[in-house]
Amino acid sequence: MSVVKNKHVPQILKQLVADGKLSPKKAEAAYHGAIERKKPITTHLVQKQIADEMDVALYNSIEYGLSLADLDAIDITSEIQDLMSIDILKKLQLYPLFKIGKALTVAVADPAYLNNLGDVKFATELVPEPVIVEYSKLQNLLYGTSGEDAVASGMSISSNTQAMDLVIETDELEKDEEEAEDDSGVDVTEFVNELLSHAIQKGVSDIHIEPYEKILRVRYRIDGILQVVSMPPKIIARKMTSRIKVLARLNSSERRIPQDGRIHFKVGDDRFIDFRVNTLPTLYGEKIVMRILDSDTAALGVDNLGFEEKQKQDLLNAISKPDGMILVTGPTGSGKTVTLYACLNILNTSEKNISTAEDPAEIQVPGINQVNVDNKVGLTFASALRAFLRQDPDIIMVGEIRDLETAEISVKAAQTGHLVLSTLHTNSAPETLTRLVNMGVPPFNIASSVHLIVAQRLARRLCKNCKTPARDIPKNALIQLGFNEEEIESSSLTVYEPVGCSECSNGYKGRVGIYQVMPISTKMESMIMNGANSLELAEQAQKENINDLRQSALNKVREGVTSLAELERVTKD
């Protein structure tokens, strides 16, 4: 069988062949040579000069989803150098580069040594964040010499990583993991607790635990961006999964189907944080994603979400009405639920009967009757809504309008004296109206029930501690982004860019909402009745001085709240 088709052959060899960097014959020789020398394939390729060192680093960076770093551009302080002895670093084939908060960026040349990150964590009490570097540059750091000289000096592979793993079948690998977990030296219970605590401290929204063939990767979603925070030993993957399943009250023996659960995690003496847990069977084990559900976010209040003054007033006017429908739209993870609960918190008084149907309820609020829909038992959004209408409601919140039946019941409720709040997945406020029409809701029902639509995105906030004015931005570039010539030439415009410091994550700290708040005017109602499309409605919104998402994002840049890069990221068509 060709080495390229052999399932045991490392992906890097297959990629080098596919891109014409290596002939199939040389790839096969390299594969068998690594096994004979008992060396990881990356180390073998570079030491024997079989492939270009930069190509090897680049392919490893892509395959393992890690950043590629240039060691020549990094100044390593004496404080960092003193974190671990050089003898241990030689054994682990890693090198610490810099520290931000509790995160320690660590240079790795060969992914076979990623399993050793657990040793770094327990030696430094910091969370290692690996980056891929060129092999010879790492050897220069470790030995003060080149990669070839390091081989001559007798450097051997760490005991944690065996080159013969290249030819172990998946089921055999899992068996070895189960046998080796007790010898990993990692207290899994303590590790999981620390992982959850650290995520809360860093303001993480999601935790991803991902098993691959050779590595176990942990990533945090911070301010909407996924970042690698740890690479614990692969041999603890099964135990780690079991521990999380126990905490989430899931069936730890069931590994063939996805499962959903919830962890109630105590923080301090009187604060609890919930984690929504989902497991998914993958090729090399179960991937776990945990979403952090902090009820404190519901108490943020409308003032803290990032609305412009006019937008905030339009929203408050809409929720003060006794009936009608308010819709919030945007992609998953754009903060729609937080916006809805900020509104519900204002409305949540003893005089109001408030019920919500969600899938699932992410934020728990006393005084609100919250229902988790469950399609398996027939408790759908539509059936929950019907039940609400028999319970004398004042305010109803529907997690999402997904189908015509739910849309029709919501519209009927809004027309019969109830205030209805819900979400849809569309790109802008005007598109929400045409989406309802496409669902099959008659235009006259939409015009008479929908009072306001909020479209939103979340942009990362620039760190107040380290943001700096951007220099030498071409005038044409600013005009293309949406700024006008007058403000550019008057020097009243100051655009800031991220820097990065110990207080933030790559120059950003927290997120701010970017909104399009569109009240449905009498003119718009008439246009909806006459079958206007989303473009025509968007033009009318501009005539009524309603900022679209791009214009709102530009205002946040003008205020120094976010950067041009974030403006492009969250509002690019």
Whether the pLDDT of residue 172 is over 50: the answer is no
- Tens-place pLDDT, residues 414-447: 999 999 999 998 889 999 998 999 999 999 999 9
* Per-residue confidence band for 395, with pLDDT thresholds at 50, 70 and 90: very high
pLDDT, position 154: 34
* Per-residue confidence band for 40, with pLDDT thresholds at 50, 70 and 90: confident
* Whole-structure pTM value: 0.64
Measured CA to CA, the distance from residue 76 to residue 87 in angstroms comes to 17
Neighbours of 250 (CB within 10 A): 21
pLDDT, position 180: 41
Measured CA to CA, the distance from residue 119 to residue 102 in angstroms comes to 16
Structure tokens at 232: 């614990």
End-to-end alpha-carbon separation of the chain, Å? 47
pLDDT, position 63: 80
pLDDT, position 374: 85
For 215, residues 6+ apart whose C-beta sits below 8 A from its C-beta are 64, 111, 114, 115, 231, 234
Question: What number is the average pLDDT over the span 229-238?
Answer: 84
pLDDT, position 475: 82
- Tens-place pLDDT, residues 524-570: 999 999 989 999 999 999 999 999 999 999 999 999 999 998 998 88
* pLDDT > 70: percent of the chain: 90
Whether the pLDDT of residue 157 is over 50: the answer is no
Whether the pLDDT of residue 161 is over 50: the answer is no
Structure tokens at 144: 């003060």
Coil, helix or strand at residue 155: coil
Measured CA to CA, the distance from residue 262 to residue 361 in angstroms comes to 11
- Tens-place pLDDT, residues 358-388: 887 877 888 999 998 888 888 888 999 999 9
Place of tokens 């790109």: 427
Place of tokens 């993870």: 333
Provide the mean pLDDT of the chain. 84
Question: b/e per residue, 383-411, with b = 16+ CB within 10 A?
Answer: bbbeebbeeebbbbbbbbbbeebbbbbbb
Q: List C-alpha distances in Å: 460 to 336, 496, 562.
A: 16, 13, 6
Cα angle value 47/51/52 (rounded, 5°): 95
Whether the pLDDT of residue 203 is over 90: the answer is no
Coil, helix or strand at residue 455: strand
Name residue 129's beta-bridge partners.
105
- Tens-place pLDDT, residues 453-492: 999 999 999 999 889 998 878 888 888 888 888 888 877 7
Contact between 315 and 343 under an 8 Å Cβ cutoff? The reply is yes
For 141, residues 6+ apart whose C-beta sits below 8 A from its C-beta are 71, 76, 95, 107
- Ranges 345-359, 489-503, 508-522: which has the least confidence: 489-503
Measured CA to CA, the distance from residue 327 to residue 431 in angstroms comes to 12
Whether the pLDDT of residue 177 is over 60: the answer is no
Specify the higher pLDDT residue, 492 or 126.
126
**Helices 381-389 and 404-415: crossing angle, nearest 10°?**
20
Q: List C-alpha distances in Å: 2 to 5, 68, 143, 167, 557.
A: 5, 30, 38, 15, 55
Task: Using alpha carbons, select from 167, 134, 136, 137 the residue that is nearest to residue 61.
Answer: 134
Whether the pLDDT of residue 183 is over 80: the answer is no
pLDDT, position 82: 83
For 513, residues 6+ apart whose C-beta sits below 8 A from its C-beta are 305, 306, 307, 335, 339, 456, 457, 458, 459
Whether the pLDDT of residue 319 is over 50: the answer is yes
Structure tokens at 454: 């909020």
With 0-12 / 13-18 / 19 or more C-beta atoms within 10 angstroms meaning exposed / middle / buried, residue 121 is buried
Contact between 508 and 461 under an 8 Å Cβ cutoff? The reply is yes
For 268, residues 6+ apart whose C-beta sits below 8 A from its C-beta are none
Q: List C-alpha distances in Å: 84 to 139, 146, 446.
A: 16, 21, 65
